[in-house]
Amino acid sequence: MSATATARVSAGRPARRRIGVGVVGFGWLGQAHTRSLLRIPTLFENRVFDAELIACSDPLPARLDQATDSFGFKRASAAWESVINDPAVEVIYIAAPNMVHVPLVEAAAQAGKAVFCEKPVGGTPEQIARAANAARTAGVISGVGYNYRWAPLVRYARELIASGELGEITNYRGRFFSMYGADPLGLNSWRFQLDQAGYGVTSDLMSHAVDLAHMLLGPITRVSGTLETYIRERPVPGDGAGHYGRGRPEDPRTPVTNEDYAAMLCTFASGARGTFEVSRTMIGPESEHAFDAYGTRGAVAWNFERLNELRLYRATEDPGSGYTRVLGGERFGHHGAFVPGSGNTIGFEDLVTIEDYEFCTAVAEGRPFEPGFEQALAWAAVQAALLRSAQSGGWEEVRA
């Protein structure tokens, strides 16, 4: 490019900070974040950072080859320490199985690096508390992968609730039904193992459902819940097998050691009452991550399977007309970065891209990011109460 062209391109746009990125865990979400970072320059012209892919770590050699050959990382190694201690790496993305999150977070925080960890940030409430403490003590910026918060229509629902348009919210229903474990031949991958995932669907799915409720309605104060494991043995997985992989009837099986299903009643600090249900084995809904909020003047409902639609009921307008359908489009949040107009749809990985854009913007500007580990900790307190309630059979207070 000529000197004149360079001057023309840079005129009028904000200065950009270079951010060196390291990724640990290069399966589904490690790759999704990396793809997102790669395409941010093509989507967000006014960004204040340019992410540079420096180093990647995964125990599987094939994933390391992919990281350098297809994604363009400069270096890749099975030793995660080499990513965290790489002087060119300023931000660490953690997308390894849950039970290895905390040592990685602690090492990244001690090295003074900003850290984005996939949810739930550790496989138990105690581990989430350790991670939050490490980031707080080191004073580093933290982020957590509650990507559904970034759905433009979910943010619109938050605006409707916060502005009082729906009146006082009295009732809330959250749910996440994912069929990834519904087939008994589904492999016994890390998600089904207490020593690798920590808890099962409470960590994997309820964390998302409660995080959205926290964002929309505020804190939960009491819960009464129940857990169940329906499929108690599954075929042994091979290296790198994911939770959508299938075995054969003749394959050897090992026990499932965490829960398939969880449900709870709850009370919010606002006084609203809520119900939550999550499952990986129920047959029917493939990926129904959904909520309904019911207020004294209206209601709002969203379902990830219909990410680009919001159902809205305004009691003040035409009470007999039922819910109306609001279509996603460029008038909502970052939707227009991906597709123009209205009714042109965005998808799962676009939410990850918005999340990464917002996180790296916060890092470049040196300010805190939400959801960070304090929000992960708010979920951990609810999870601890749910686990106690499943044991005691009664209501349990959510304790900080």
Query: Which of 21, 22, 23, 25 contacts ligand NAD by CB under 6 A?
Result: 25
Query: Which of 38, 100, 265, 327 contacts ligand NAD by CB under 6 A?
Result: 100
Q: How far is the CB of 287 from ligand NAD (least distance, A)?
A: 10
Residue 178 sits in the site that holds ligand NAD (CB under 6 A): no
Residue 188 sits in the site that holds ligand NAD (CB under 6 A): no
Q: How far is the CB of 196 from ligand NAD (least distance, A)?
A: 8
Closest-by-Cβ residue to ligand NAD is 27
Query: Which of 8, 28, 65, 271 contacts ligand NAD by CB under 6 A?
Result: 28
Q: Please give the sequence-ordered ranges of beta strands (E in DSSP) within the chain, or none if there are none.
A: 17-24, 49-57, 75-77, 91-94, 114-117, 142-144, 169-178, 220-228, 233-235, 253-255, 261-268, 273-279, 287-295, 298-303, 309-314, 324-327, 396-397
Stretch near ligand NAD under the rule CB under 6 A, chosen from 10-18, 55-63, 160-168, 253-261? 55-63
Q: How far is the CB of 84 from ligand NAD (least distance, A)?
A: 11
Q: How far is the CB of 22 from ligand NAD (least distance, A)?
A: 11
Closest alpha carbon to 279 in 256, 297, 262: 262
Helix axes 125-138, 101-110, angle to 10 degrees: 10
Query: Which of 22, 122, 125, 145 contacts ligand NAD by CB under 6 A?
Result: 145
Cα–Cα distance measured from residue 79 to residue 77, given in angstroms and rounded to the nearest whole number: 5
Q: How many residues bind ligand NAD (CB under 6 A)?
A: 25
Here the tokens at position 14 are 């904000």
Nearer to ligand NAD, 59 or 219 (CB): 59
Nearer to ligand NAD, 166 or 215 (CB): 215
* Cβ neighbours of 250 (radius 10 Å): 6
DSSP per-residue string spanning 61-97: HHHHHHHHHTS--SEEES-HHHHHT-TT--EEEE-S-
Nearer to ligand NAD, 63 or 280 (CB): 63
Consecutive H or E run containing 102: helix 101-110
Asked if residues 120 and 140 have their Cβ atoms less than 8 Å apart, the reply is no
Nearer to ligand NAD, 83 or 160 (CB): 83
Cross-strand partners of 342? 329
Residue 215 sits in the site that holds ligand NAD (CB under 6 A): no
Residue 29 sits in the site that holds ligand NAD (CB under 6 A): yes
Residue 180 sits in the site that holds ligand NAD (CB under 6 A): no
Nearer to ligand NAD, 24 or 182 (CB): 24
Residue 175 sits in the site that holds ligand NAD (CB under 6 A): no
Residue 245 sits in the site that holds ligand NAD (CB under 6 A): no
Residue 66 sits in the site that holds ligand NAD (CB under 6 A): no
Cα–Cα distance measured from residue 93 to residue 131, given in angstroms and rounded to the nearest whole number: 14
Q: How far is the CB of 99 from ligand NAD (least distance, A)?
A: 9
Cα–Cα distance measured from residue 304 to residue 53, given in angstroms and rounded to the nearest whole number: 30
Closest alpha carbon to 16 in 49, 38, 39, 53: 49
3-state secondary structure of 270: coil
Residue 33 sits in the site that holds ligand NAD (CB under 6 A): no
Helix axes 28-43, 348-365, angle to 10 degrees: 70
Residue 62 sits in the site that holds ligand NAD (CB under 6 A): no
Nearer to ligand NAD, 60 or 269 (CB): 60
Nearer to ligand NAD, 168 or 195 (CB): 195
Name 53's Cβ contacts closer than 8 Å, sequence gap at least 6.
21, 23, 34, 37, 38, 71, 72, 73, 74
Residue 119 sits in the site that holds ligand NAD (CB under 6 A): yes
Q: How far is the CB of 8 from ligand NAD (least distance, A)?
A: 39
Residue 95 sits in the site that holds ligand NAD (CB under 6 A): yes
Residue 47 sits in the site that holds ligand NAD (CB under 6 A): no
Cα–Cα distance measured from residue 35 to residue 40, given in angstroms and rounded to the nearest whole number: 9
Binding-site ranges for ligand NAD (CB under 6 A):
24-30, 57-60, 63, 80, 95-98, 100, 118-119, 145, 147, 204, 240, 242
